[in-house]
Copies of this chain bind each other. A is one copy, B any other.
Amino acid sequence: MQGGAKMAVATIKDIAKLANVSVATVSRVLNDSNRVTEKTKNIVLAVMEENNYMPNEIARSLSKRETNTIGVVVPDINNPFFGKVIKGISSISDKEDLYMLLCDTDENEEKELKFLDMLVRQRIRGLIITPTMNNDEFNPEYMKALAKLNIPIVLIDRDVKYSNFDGVFSDDIEGSYQAVDCLIKEGHEKIAIIAGPITSKPGRDRFRGYTKAIEMNGLAVDDKYVHYGDFKLESGYELTKKILSMKEPPTALFVSNNMMNLGCIKALAELKLEIGKDIGLIGFDEVEMLEIMGINVSVVDRPMERMGVRAMMILKDRLENPKVKEEDVQRIILHPTLKLRGSEKKK
């Protein structure tokens, strides 16, 4: 019933013929050039309408030697952080008629490289990427892979060492500093950190904020309270159990990312420890659900959606005005804010 069966799709040529004009003219109305009479324009438009003409962007891209797709590469689409970031990106890209080729690397370097390869072949115009953590070490191969793309690249959240790509980051040192400083001001002295991999910039920075706060308050970092996880839930869970079974357990925990924070909360629940009473806690990154469910956990809150927005704005800018000098880098650092909900309290 609905529509012809396998009738070949109309091309610009068909339209030209039916409208009694040249293909150039059709192309012109397509591109909204003003160099065409209102009258012929309307005729062409009508013919297009009638024949349900749908310009072929592939042909267009080839001819213009430029697509209107961008690549978006994230490590895990199920991490709420990236969900938000993507929302932010598309809120801008939609308006710019730029479309998103989405790649989920699963925190897997090999996959990431494969995706990058694919994305070049697809001739994406620009790339927004949060590199896999493993790539954080100085990695010439990886940098080469990115450079080979030869298109504007905007980093989000994670940096590529010794590179100078544009990027949107958050001031994690500051965020962590505030969190730990707050715990100290609440009276906690034995504060453990569940840190991320020191091989990643966020991991390092959040750890640095921790040490900074402790030292600025005239205390000393106690190695036995420093534990490294991998930013995943499981490690937050395990480390929390481990930490709380110490002879002299800390009175507060600073957990440096959302997933580990969830693991930590799970462990705390199992240990029947009441947050903000039996144990102080501040996490890094908001987890909407927690608040929704009335679980009051204080966190260092980053403007996630905004990070996506800013990244896309930089990319858009680059697309319009290519980077001229190597030094001319746009690195935006957004500031987190401390969201206090009581879990920082000391009994």
Residues of A within 8 A of B (CB): 2-3, 9, 52, 54-59, 61-62, 67, 69, 72, 77-78, 80, 83-84, 86-87, 90, 94, 97, 99-104, 111, 117-118, 120-123, 143-144, 147-148, 150, 233, 262-263, 265-266, 269-270, 287, 289-290, 292-295
Beta-carbon contact of A111 and B99 below 8 Å? no
Which residues from chain B contact A72 at a C-beta distance below 8 Å? 102
| Contact B292–A293 (Cβ < 8 Å) | no
Please tell me how many copies of the chain the complex holds: 2
Is A147 a contact of B2 with CB atoms below 8 Å? yes
Q: List 26 A-B contacts (CB under 8 A).
A: A2-B143, A3-B144, A3-B150, A9-B150, A54-B120, A54-B121, A56-B62, A56-B121, A58-B58, A58-B61, A62-B62, A69-B101, A86-B102, A99-B103, A99-B118, A100-B102, A100-B103, A101-B102, A233-B292, A262-B292, A265-B293, A266-B292, A269-B294, A287-B289, A289-B290, A293-B295
Evaluate contact between B62 and A90: CB separation under 8 angstroms. no
* Contact present for B289 and A147 (CB under 8 Å): no
Query: A103 — which chain B residues lie within 8 A by C-beta?
Result: 90, 99-100
Nearest opposing residue in chain B for A66, CB measure: B58
| Alpha-carbon gap, A260 to B144, bound state (A) | 47
The smallest beta-carbon distance between A288 and chain B, in angstroms, is 9
Other-chain contact of A111, B56, B86, B94, B265 (Cβ < 8 Å): B94
